[in-house]
Chain A
Amino acid sequence: MSEAAALPRVSPQPAVATEGRPVRWVLTALAIGFLALFLVLPLITVFAQAFAKGWDAYRAAFDEPDARSAIRLTLTVAAIAVPFNLVFGVAASWAIAKFEFVGKNLLVTLIDLPFSVSPVVSGLIYVLLFGAQGLLGPWLLANDIQIIFALPGIVLATIFVTFPFVARQLIPLMQEQGNAEEEAALTLGASGWHVFRTVTLPNIRWALLYSVLLCNARAMGEFGAVAVVSGHIRGLTNTIPLHVEILYNEYNFVASFAVASVLASLALVTLVIKSGLEWRYSDELAAGARRH
């Protein structure tokens, strides 16, 4: 999910079109209380637990070579998966939003599909394809290619779970913008690539940045799908979330939460930039929200 819902100002309303003051107050308190208990408290817990034994214990979690290799692996995976989905998303939305052809709705549904598949199943399908018992397993083994329990498998599973992010943000926006500006540029003699660079790209840049941001957050934080394909080999195929799991299961809570706090900080930064973008470019991003 990557819905950008712009939050418009609350316009002053006549008394007949709103609830009484006490009702408003109670409902607001209820909503904020619910969010505080269910969403904010867990977030605070992450940082509270991470620093429960002080700064030195926190720091120590990152001196572990396994933690460092997990961070390195996660950055590598995101550095491959995010650009891949960026290029895919732009190509898919160009084909779908700028042209009329039969079967378009089916394609959009198929692109959205990974969002409705359980992360564990997302990992499983790659094991079934590339694992030792998988369809291509014997062939891969014969050619000494390792995909499952190795970097390629983790990258593939990550690409799968973040597959729709960019496309689903751009398709509605580009459909709303139409082809008029591109056609105008063509009549003025611009080549196709020039049109894309000077007209289309500037029109979608904020939505693109927005979707890449969310795609990246998910890519770095993915757990279920990666857990299935990684094999949990310490120092080799452990990403940050998997490392968090291992430390937690070893009752090494401080280290576990310390490493988790890196991901939580990433989530917070993502949310802040996301809100900033929504606030500043609500028109462009709202197209994605209207797609329900």
Chain B
Amino acid sequence: MRAGELLALLGPSGSGKTTLLRVIAGLELPDRGRIIFGGDDATRLPVQERAVGFVFQHYALFKHMSVAENIAYGLNARKRPGRPDKAEIKRRVGDLLDLIKLSGFADRYPSQLSGGQRQRVALARALAVEPRVLLLDEPFGALDAQVRKDLRRWLREIHDRTGQTTIFVTHDQDEALELSDRVAVLDKGRLAQVGTPDEVQEAPASATVLKFLGDTIEVEAIAEGGRVFVNGRPTPVAAPPGLVGPVKLYARPWQLRFAEPEHAHVEGVVRTSYRTQGRQRIEVDRAEGKTVVVEAANSARLAAGRPVGLQIVGGHVFAD
């Protein structure tokens, strides 16, 4: 974790990402391993002294306190010498309300706010204590699609403006890839890969990472002499050095193309096709029973039941 960066913890549900975030915050104790903040071992540091800002998935705003009281809570909770005076707290709360664009809302109660507004108040409350690291648990999980998009952009802006070191947890690949400087992919409690969004997409470390980052088609293949063959026909995919024998080839929907039977790697029958956001998606039932999704530029609609061949034009290979 680098200072000032925005890191996404990405993983399917049950992969341990929220647990990891809570361990970092000190809300849960690790079975093994250590938590290091800027060279200091914080593993045994109680949660109050870790100086983390935690934004909970359902915000956990204090229902009986106004927006301003919520934001001021961390400052008011400090022991005497370290506690700012009343005027200073008021000023800081005002600044944060400006930052989250809720200046007129200081005296409202959480129940009087929309989901997006509550989320922003939760963020301001966490930022008020000037945390060493800001931790967000599924920050957009409980919001509807439009608010989610606006808040994403807004969070990125805030981050760019404040330079606050931030970790956020998400199960949404698009969110992680769009928003973060680096992505950490978690799989069954283990860190599968850390890298920039480009790195994890272009060079996924494992089949699991690859599969988790988007729709894939999985095909039995043979690697030989640095090349990969499917159905006895060569593909443009290069095999990593040393990988020989039966392997699995993974391709994205846009790495498939319709082809004549003599060039096809995979054959099947069109199940259905539909248009979405200017692209056409075609579901194809493969001969061995699995359904794959192919993405193509807008073309004539393919009738259901029509036999088609598919050619693989790109992808990644991993040992079986």
Partners in one complex: yes
In chain B, residues 37-64, which have Cβ atoms closer than 8 Å to a Cβ of chain A? 47-54, 56, 58, 60-64
Tell me how far the C-beta of B161 lies from the nearest C-beta in chain A, rounded to whole angstroms: 22
A183 touches B (CB below 8 Å): yes
Q: In the complex, A190→B26 CA distance in Å?
A: 13
Contact B60 A184 (CB under 8 A): yes
Residue interface mask B68-112, A partner, CB < 8 A = 1: 000001100110000000000000000000000000000000000
Contact A202 B64 (CB under 8 A): yes
| Main SS at interface, chain A | helix
Q: In the complex, A32→B9 CA distance in Å?
A: 62
Tell me how far the C-beta of B58 lies from the nearest C-beta in chain A, rounded to whole angstroms: 7
Tell me how far the C-beta of A201 lies from the nearest C-beta in chain B, rounded to whole angstroms: 10
Contact A189 B60 (CB under 8 A): no
Chain A contacts of B52 at CB under 8 A? 187
B185 touches A (CB below 8 Å): no
Contact A186 B63 (CB under 8 A): no
Tell me how far the C-beta of B92 lies from the nearest C-beta in chain A, rounded to whole angstroms: 13
Tell me how far the C-beta of A183 lies from the nearest C-beta in chain B, rounded to whole angstroms: 5
Chain B contacts of A118 at CB under 8 A? none
Tell me how far the C-beta of B45 lies from the nearest C-beta in chain A, rounded to whole angstroms: 12
Contact A181 B62 (CB under 8 A): yes
Q: How many residues of B contact A (CB 8 A)?
A: 26
Q: In the complex, A181→B122 CA distance in Å?
A: 11
Q: Which residue of B lies closest to A183 (CB)?
A: B27
A43 touches B (CB below 8 Å): no
Tell me how far the C-beta of B19 lies from the nearest C-beta in chain A, rounded to whole angstroms: 14
B293 touches A (CB below 8 Å): no
Contact B63 A203 (CB under 8 A): yes
Q: In the complex, A183→B60 CA distance in Å?
A: 8
Contact B60 A188 (CB under 8 A): no
Tell me how far the C-beta of B167 lies from the nearest C-beta in chain A, rounded to whole angstroms: 13
Contact A185 B63 (CB under 8 A): no
Residue interface mask B123-139, A partner, CB < 8 A = 1: 00110110000000000
B200 touches A (CB below 8 Å): no
Contact A185 B58 (CB under 8 A): no
Residue interface mask A178-197, B partner, CB < 8 A = 1: 00110111111111001000
Contact A199 B53 (CB under 8 A): no
Tell me how far the C-beta of A122 lies from the nearest C-beta in chain B, rounded to whole angstroms: 38
Q: A183-B27, A183-B56, A194-B77 are in contact. Are A188 and B62 (CB under 8 A)?
A: no
Of B53, B58, B62, B64, the contact of A187 (CB 8 Å cutoff): B53
Q: In the complex, A121→B219 CA distance in Å?
A: 75
Contact A180 B58 (CB under 8 A): yes
> Which of A180, A186, A188 has the most chain B CB atoms inside 10 A of its CB?
A188
Tell me how far the C-beta of B119 lies from the nearest C-beta in chain A, rounded to whole angstroms: 13
Q: Which residue of A lies closest to B73 (CB)?
A: A188
Contact A181 B60 (CB under 8 A): yes
Q: Which residue of A lies closest to B71 (CB)?
A: A188
Residue interface mask A40-80, B partner, CB < 8 A = 1: 00000000000000000000000000000000000000000
Q: Which residue of A lies closest to B22 (CB)?
A: A183
Chain B contacts of A181 at CB under 8 A? 60-63
Q: A194-B77, A199-B62, A202-B64 are in contact. Are A186 and B56 (CB under 8 A)?
A: no
Residues of A within 8 A of B (CB): 180-181, 183-191, 194, 198-199, 202-203
Residues of B within 8 A of A (CB): 25-27, 47-54, 56, 58, 60-64, 73-74, 77-78, 125-126, 128-129
